[in-house]
Structure 1
Amino acid sequence: MIKYLLSLFILAATLISCNRSENDKPVIGVTMLSMQNEFIVNVSDEMEKKAQEAGVELITVDAERSALKQIEQVESFIAQGVDAIVMNPCEVEASSPAVTKAQAAGIPIINVNSETATQPTAFVGSDDVESARIAMKYIADRLGGKGNVIMIHGYMGQAAQIKREQGAREILKQYPGLKLLASQTGEWDRAKSMSLMENWIQSYGGQINAVFAQNDEMGMGALKALTDAGLKDKIVVVSIDAIPDALQAVQKGTLDATVFQNAQQQGSQAIETALKIINKQPYEKEILVPFQLVTKENVAEFMK
């Protein structure tokens, strides 16, 4: 049985090798955190566009927020003999073995948008600490440095969640008059965050002065709950990513601000970096794309 499986594996590897030489196209395996998340889909779409322009074959899979599934997907890419792997990590620690496995197999691995504890071949993304500093500073300014803030976390243990909490708390420390009234995970999810906000409205009602949601999906969920409760006009809501829904809400004046994260740059530069590594060209080990605050005053610049 073992000999039979080994023969099949050798045959599969040979076929992949033959296909590679026939097509003469680099093959990049891509594993994304969750294709239910609009920003992540935007990053994936940009990678697809860049790959088509560059004549690269992409094999894109959805890890569905499971680090274990993500590791299995990377193992599958290794078995397929891809030229490079792009990973949008599910978790800082739990997705790290995928990096180790790819590197042990001699396959370059590029982390996009989110980080792992184990250093990949390269990283393309943004400084999530900076995004939360921008968001919380906006809240501090709007509230005159005094008031009660609620924070909705992303998926716990993921790099963006950890760093956005860090950035938010840095600003909170600078303003003793700002109090973190409550915080909990909405798992990057609109419906879950709407439900969370409904519970907080029941618990805290008129005590809430501002909401910081670590992404727009959660910000939009909180906004819906506040609007339904007739409280939106009294509460400042800020989130991160600048997805189309959020930009429209900022334009209407319902969402106070969002922080633009550049999916186009992250996606395209992840593929460009992978190609440079495949072609043994010089490449940057870390590319950080800046965040930008989006308010009603400048939202038109970000609308497509």
Structure 2
Amino acid sequence: MKLKSFLSASLFAAVLISCNQSKTNESGKDGSGKRIVIGSTMLSMQNEFVVNVSDEMEAKAKELGVELITVDAERSALKQVEQVESFIAQGVDAIVMNPCEVEASSPSVKLAINAKIPIINVNSETSTIPTAFVGSDDTESARIAMNYIVKKLNGKGNVIMMHGYMGQAAQIKRDKGAKEIIKANPDLKLLAEQSGEWDRAKAMSLTENWIQSYGTQINAIFAQNDEMGMGVVKALEAAGLKSKIIVVSIDAIPDALQAVKKGTLDATVYQNAKEQGGKAIETAVKAAKGENFEKEVLIPFQLVTKENLGEFLK
């Protein structure tokens, strides 16, 4: 009797697992029963935040039972257009694009729409409106960062801004948001601004140049992403100036969170890679199936300081 009960329970568990697997796999198929294939072109797989978004896209695709083909645009809008052309030729069911540039990546959107393939922009934008956008309001992220600097400086001092890759939506919008706050605080002066191209090593070199030019005149540096923020911190530490200069950046990547914990980075602004990546794939799958989906999914930013760091550390 015990053996019979064990076999019955085992059979029931096997059937249950099989049903659950079948349900997952079915969700990844289109109306004709064919497995959905999504092409993904990412700005740069050398950028930690972009990799985090891509990893979440991969995880969500696996969960939903769809095939995801990911390629690296290597910061080249021209390469990105060619990659989208290749996806169209392969006959993918949907495309997710993390745009390299607002204007130069826009032809990719036009190509996909003309081919009647849904294209979802994730994390960054193009001037041509895609099928859907999943990301966050980059203007708001810069407002959050700069307002923190205003508070720490009591509204008075010299600020330097390090831009990301020029022409990309995040760079344009973070510039806009930061300058709104600077304009609203007349005693805050923008001492210098230049691009560090989202890159840690370039940010370190650029900061070294600023130290030589301005030295102790600098009261705060706003880096438009954490990769650059880490480069800024390293240069300031080497010059013995970190304790005198406030540094704030955006993304809340693991290195930045640890730097906030150590006190070398004053604050970062959390951008939710998990939500962006997951929602992008969910939206792409719905669009591929012809189901209803949100045309714009905006995920809020959050300021991270030592006070609330525990909420963001894994």
Pick the TM interval, shorter chain: over 0.9
Q: Quick one: which amino acid aligns to residue 157 of structure 2?
A: G
Identify the residue that residue 7 of structure 1 maps to in structure 2: none
Residues 209-248 of structure 1: pairs in structure 2 closer than 5 A: 209-248=219-258
1-structure distance, mates of 2:113, 2:74: 23
Does residue 116 (structure 1) correspond to residue 130 (structure 2)? The answer is no
Identify the residue that residue 291 of structure 2 maps to in structure 1: 281
1:105 to 115, 124, 136: 115
Percent identity (aligned) = 77
2:37 to 27, 30, 37: 27
1-structure distance, mates of 2:81, 2:196: 24
Does residue 258 (structure 1) correspond to residue 271 (structure 2)? The answer is no
2-structure distance, mates of 1:48, 1:298: 29
Q: Quick one: which amino acid aligns to residue 61 of structure 2?
A: A
2-structure distance, mates of 1:21, 1:281: 11
- When normalised by structure 1's length, the TM-score is 0.93
1:217 Cα offset (Å): 0.2
1:77 to 87, 102, 108: 87
1:21 Cα offset (Å): 11
Does residue 172 (structure 1) correspond to residue 182 (structure 2)? The answer is yes
Q: Quick one: which amino acid aligns to residue 104 of structure 1?
A: N
1:280 Cα offset (Å): 1.4
SS at match of 1:293: strand
SS at match of 1:135: helix
Q: Quick one: which amino acid aligns to residue 226 of structure 1?
A: L
Whether the aligned pair in 1 keeps the contact of 2:31 and 2:289 (CA below 8 Å) is no
Q: Which runs of 4+ in 1 moved over 2 A?
A: 20-24
2-structure distance, mates of 1:176, 1:26: 54
- When normalised by structure 2's length, the TM-score is 0.90
Q: Quick one: which amino acid aligns to residue 236 of structure 2?
A: L
1:24 Cα offset (Å): 2.8
Q: Point out where structure 2 has 5 or more consecutive residues left out of the alignment.
A: 1-29
1-structure distance, mates of 2:60, 2:271: 18
Q: Quick one: which amino acid aligns to residue 238 of structure 1?
A: V
2:100 to 75, 80, 90: 90
Identify the residue that residue 291 of structure 1 maps to in structure 2: 301
Residues 126-205 of structure 1: pairs in structure 2 closer than 5 A: 126-205=136-215
Give the superposed CA RMSD: 1.2
SS at match of 1:90: coil
In the TM superposition, what whole-angstrom CA distance separates every residue of 1:38-80 from its partner, at most 9, and x where no partner exists?
0000000000000000001001000000000000000000000
1:23 Cα offset (Å): 8.4
In the TM superposition, what whole-angstrom CA distance separates every residue of 1:248-276 from its partner, at most 9, and x where no partner exists?
00011110000000000000000000111
1:37/1:23 Cα in 2 relative to 1: closer, same or farther (>3 Å)?
A: farther
1:25 Cα offset (Å): 1.4
SS at match of 1:61: strand
1-structure distance, mates of 2:72, 2:140: 27
Q: Quick one: which amino acid aligns to residue 91 of structure 1?
A: E
1-structure distance, mates of 2:261, 2:310: 8
Identify the residue that residue 40 of structure 1 maps to in structure 2: 50
2-structure distance, mates of 1:159, 1:21: 35
1:125 Cα offset (Å): 0.2
1-structure distance, mates of 2:257, 2:134: 24
Whether the aligned pair in 1 keeps the contact of 2:43 and 2:98 (CA below 8 Å) is yes
Q: Point out where structure 1 has 5 or more consecutive residues left out of the alignment.
A: 1-19
In the TM superposition, what whole-angstrom CA distance separates every residue of 1:61-112 from its partner, at most 9, and x where no partner exists?
0000000000000000000000000000000000000000000001000000
SS at match of 1:47: helix
Q: Quick one: which amino acid aligns to residue 262 of structure 2?
A: K
Whether the aligned pair in 1 keeps the contact of 2:251 and 2:269 (CA below 8 Å) is yes
